A and B are shown apart, each in its own frame.
Chain A
Amino acid sequence: MRLFAIILGFAFIGCSGGGGNIIREIGIGLHNNNELKIQLDVTTTADARVYAEYWPDSSPGRTMTSPVSAPGLHHSLVLGNIIPQTGYSFRLVTENGGTQNVSKTYTFQSRSLPMWLQDQFTYNCTRPELLPADFKEGFLLINKREAPGLMYILDTRGQLRWYHMVDGTGVKVAHFTKDTTIIAILGKSDEPTSYGSEILEINLLGDTLLHLKKGEGDLRYTIHHEVIKNKAGNVVTIYEDPRIMDLSRIGGNKEDTVHGDGILVLDKQGKKIWQWSVFDVSDPFSDGDLLKHKRDWMHANSLSYDTDSNYLVSFYNLGQVWKVDAHSGRVLWKLGKGGTVGLPADGNFSQSHAVHINPAGSLMLFDNGVGRRQSGVYAFHIQPDGRTATVDWHINLPAEIYNDRMGSAYMINDSLVLCCCSKKHITVLADKKGTLLWTLDTAIPPYRVEFIPASMVKPFILN
């Protein structure tokens, strides 16, 4: 009888030694063919929810956690925040019938970045103590326009921390949204600069949330330069509006084409919600040089919201920013050369980019400064009646990083601005005197560089 008890006891010891561990298989590989995302494919012997705890071997205390899987037998866990060529350890936590079990520890070694992602960025900062913590801990979004296109998220030490490559097309514009997603215009190499024909929204796991293509639904146009979302979650973009016109009276053809721009609002299924065109509010024949400009009459290059949710659109060829009523389409004012808003002499910008309302409420823009061959940043205060504006502040960037096309400028805090000088392949952090505190050289010319506060990308990317 005593032997029976021992045998029975042995049996129970054997099972409890398993701790109810129900993991049958663990597959370790890449998620979406991405070297900075590891995917664990876990099979359990019973329905369970599973997540992974993982850490770099060099910092065992720095434990990160994957999302928790849905109940089931097969679980795909994505481990973000991977650094190349680094040893990692992980353990799996299973939750099954109210019992939580932790596996033993396994390891993997992340691989190097593919060759096309190596040697792409380098930063320089001689006085890192002058950088605010928010900036040091934050991230930068950059896109590559040539196919195969890429979206990159870097830390401020120039280290690539996240990327997403698209097949067969380029990423013409990319924007980080408040929903912790990236929305982008995709376009082929034979579509010029920032022009494209697809809208893609992905989350930080790289999963597609929205993919609209020209020719499908109400997306009938070539789109360009900007794609954002509105409060209702709809997609707002700039489109190219080619209009057939009789230009014979000014020396053109009887059936000629003038390429204008417009704003298009689509729902997630690609159904048109609202549409506006420059032709609704402007007469092309008022342009005395229309034949010269007809291929790209105004060249809209940025779109954002004013504080009252109406649109702000900037036009490179006009050197103007327009406020457009988001309902009626009426132009409320025009800021810039030949505009309706009275500007002081020190507010004359040449071409504006990345026009937006900054956290202090100023209308802020990157000025190419073509006339002076010196780029800079302007922050304007527009009077409520929209008739006059004053310059809140203006930064002259060093002449050495003059950038005649593209570019962006965004506030990091009350005093520092992140400026992208696209054609110089450089992004700088400048104070309001134009002193550079930090610079990032890039192998590609970024169209814009957006700053992403660290809190926005947790837990997918951590510093």
Chain B
Amino acid sequence: MNKYIIAILLVPVLAMQYGCNKNLEPKVYSSLTNTNAFQTKSDAIAAVNAVYARLKGPVVGDNFTYWTVRHFALTDLTTDVGHCNYGGDPGQLSLGLWNSTNGLLGQDWQYIYKLIANANNAIYNIAGMKTISDAEQKQFISELKFLRSIAYLDLTDAFGPVILVTEKDVPNASFTSQPKPTPVADIEALLIADLNEAAGVLPLNYQNNAIYPGNDVGRATRGAALTLLAKLYLRRHDWQQVVALTQQVMDLKIYDLYPDYPGLFAESNKWCVENIFSVLADANTNGTELLNHFGPLNNPTPALLNRWQYYAVSWDFYNTFDMADDRRKCFYPYYKGVDDLVYSQAPSPGATPPAGVSYMADVATKKYADSLGSTTYYDGHSVDILRYADVLLSRAEAINEISGPSAECIGLINQVKGRSHAKPLNLADYDQTSLRDAILKERGWEFFYEGKRRADLIRMGKYDVIVNAYLNRIGQPSNIVMPKNRYFPYPQSQVNLNPNLDNSDR
């Protein structure tokens, strides 16, 4: 056979081979990557909503984590305000005694980080989306950064230096790394940047909002970002910034004090002029277990039946309220129980009750236990993380720290007192030190069980003095030691995973 004929025959044969091999290996492409998983605006909103939900946990079948109960174990039970008559982890915290195995410390850490992890994931994915508008992208990311800032502020209040993870860690997440805790100042730098960014993007409110229809109250706003930033500067003792930021919040002219203190916490009062940022709940759709934990024991009122009085207030604190102060009305100090016993305060510690009487170890607050509220297991009470009274008292504190008592400073405090018909302060009676003490007292009366007490005591340098004095009054030793108790120990379960979490000095 002629070599030319062979060549002519080989061409189509090779072509056929090439063609057939091409058929054998189709082009395969996959979009199942781990990035850009969010496709639609609904994906983005669902992710943002999931991060809001983390403020309440949620734990399936166990709806009382983070801001809807358990966080109060760290912020209020460990102070002169909160009391828990149950043993175990909350009882330990209530007596100023704890260690790294306390379950409530571990749970708060865990659920705060769940929020942070979800926020990081959502920020990362939303930042890569091309299917939403620039305005939507900025809005969603600002909400997420605000929520993450709350989480890091709470986390650093409790534990100081913690592991900083952000959206930058999402693509190459390492679940076995053992990083060192990030200094608080570095975390604060991130929060300052994030909150400034959020304050520049978020709307004043959600009326006629193009992204969220139906006046979707409860979402983060400009006022909320500014207020949280003011709170952060307050912790840093950066008083000038607090004065400037609280002025900005006041200048928004959309907030005021709700006229009635007990009414502010009524279950039906979901959102009012005083709310800046709150965790909202609806008993029908996303209820909480605040009422179970805070409601009085054996109280016959339908809404209060079968509640637990788990998180209560010490009688020692209750007795500090002036009789005229409306805030004193926010408790259940005396009632006839379902067992016909009269529930009341003991006349003296350890007194034996006469027949027909039960002396309560502590007093339940109405703040999350509205007697006219839900009669069911889950309730719809809100938790106010940021409200306008805090703006006023934070500003008063900053002014006092800068220049001592002034008419403006006293006026701000008296505005808050006045709403509750409490006895006003007289400027002439105070110097800087005594006014600082008065503000600390005022903050206790105003914000008990709002997650602020421990941070307030620490910020003002009075955590050991005031809590030990309280503990001594109830027959306990001075269990608070500073600076050891400035931060809680890192949860043991976390230390086991990451030995860089060092508990030697806490």
Q: What residues of A have a CB within 8 angstroms of the CB of B5 in the complex?
A: 4
**What is the bound-complex CA distance between A405 and B378, given in angstroms?**
12
Residue of A nearest to B379 (CB): A423
A3 to B8, CA, bound (A): 13
B31 in complex: contacting residue of A29, A147, A406, CB < 8 Å: A29
B213 beta carbon closer than 8 Å to chain A: yes
Closest chain A residue, CB of each to CB of B377: A424
Which residues of B, 12-65, contact A by the 8 Å Cβ criterion?
Answer: 12-13, 16-17, 20-21, 23-24, 26-32, 34, 37-43, 45-47, 49-50, 53, 58-63
Give the interface segment out of B281-289, B309-317, B362-370, B490-498.
Answer: B281-289
Beyond A22-B23, A33-B40, whether A10 also contacts B31 by CB under 8 A is: no
Q: How far is the CB of B115 from chain A (nearest CB, A)?
A: 11
Tell me the complex Cα distance, A454–B67, Å: 40
Q: Which of B53, B63, B213, B376 contacts A402 (CB 8 A)?
A: B376
Report the minimal beta-carbon distance from A448 to chain B, rounded to whole angstroms.
14
Contacts of B47 in A (CB 8 A): 114-116
A403→B13 contact, CB < 8 A: no
Is the CB of A24 closer than 8 A to any CB of chain B? yes
Which of the residues A18, A25, A114, A167 comes within 8 Å of B24, measured between beta carbons?
A: A18
- Cα of A30 to Cα of B34 in the assembled complex, Å: 12
Q: Name the distance in Å between B411's Cβ and chain A's nearest Cβ.
A: 39
Cross-chain contact B287 with A445 (CB below 8 angstroms)? yes
Interchain CA distance A405-B375 in the complex, whole Å: 11
From the candidates A11, A18, A29, A120, name the one contacting B12 in the complex (CB within 8 A): A11
Instruction: Select one of A27, A38, A148 contacting B45, CB under 8 A.
Output: A148
Residues of the A chain whose Cβ atoms lie less than 8 Å from the Cβ of B28: 25-28, 106
Of the four ranges (under 10, 10 to 19, 20 to 34, 35 or more), the interface on chain B belongs to 35 or more
CB-CB under 8 A for A425 and B378, given A147-B45, A443-B58 = yes
Q: How far is the CB of B215 from chain A (nearest CB, A)?
A: 7
- A114 CA / B48 CA spacing, docked (Å): 12
Give the complex CA separation of A146 and B58 in angstroms: 16
Which one, A185-193, A284-292, A315-323, A339-347, is touching chain B? Answer: A185-193
Residues in chain A near residue B413, CB distance under 8 A: none
Contacts of A146 in B (CB 8 A): 49, 285-286
Most chain A CB within 10 A, of B16, B29, B34, B284, is at B284
Q: Is B42 a contact of A148 with CB atoms below 8 Å? A: yes
Task: List the A side residues contacting B60 at CB < 8 Å.
Answer: 119-122, 425, 441-443
A353 interface residue (CB < 8 Å to B): no
Shortest beta-carbon distance from A125 to chain B in Å: 14
- Given A115-B50, A423-B376, the answer on whether A110 and B284 have CB atoms closer than 8 Å is no
Q: Looking at A4, A11, A29, A108, which has the most chain B CB atoms within 10 Å of its CB?
A: A11
A444: CB under 8 A from chain B?
yes
Q: Does B121 reach chain A (CB closer than 8 Å)?
A: yes
Contact B6 A18 (CB under 8 A): no
Are B34 and A111 in touch, CB under 8 angstroms? yes
Chain B nearest CB, measured from A144 CB (Å): 9
Given A109-B32, A188-B213, A425-B61, do A33 and B43 touch, yes or no (CB 8 Å)?
yes
Give B contacts to A, CB under 8 Å.
Answer: 1, 5-6, 9-10, 12-13, 16-17, 20-21, 23-24, 26-32, 34, 37-43, 45-47, 49-50, 53, 58-63, 118, 121-122, 213-216, 283-287, 305, 375-378
Q: A4-B9, A165-B42 are in contact. List 18 more A-B contacts (CB 8 A).
A: A11-B12, A11-B13, A17-B20, A18-B23, A21-B26, A24-B27, A25-B27, A26-B27, A30-B32, A110-B32, A114-B46, A114-B47, A116-B47, A373-B375, A405-B284, A406-B284, A441-B62, A443-B58
Question: What are 26 pairs between A and B in contact, CB < 8 Å?
Answer: A1-B1, A3-B6, A7-B13, A8-B9, A10-B13, A10-B17, A14-B17, A14-B21, A21-B26, A22-B23, A27-B29, A103-B26, A114-B43, A115-B122, A122-B61, A146-B49, A146-B285, A165-B46, A167-B41, A168-B41, A373-B375, A441-B62, A443-B58, A444-B285, A444-B286, A445-B287
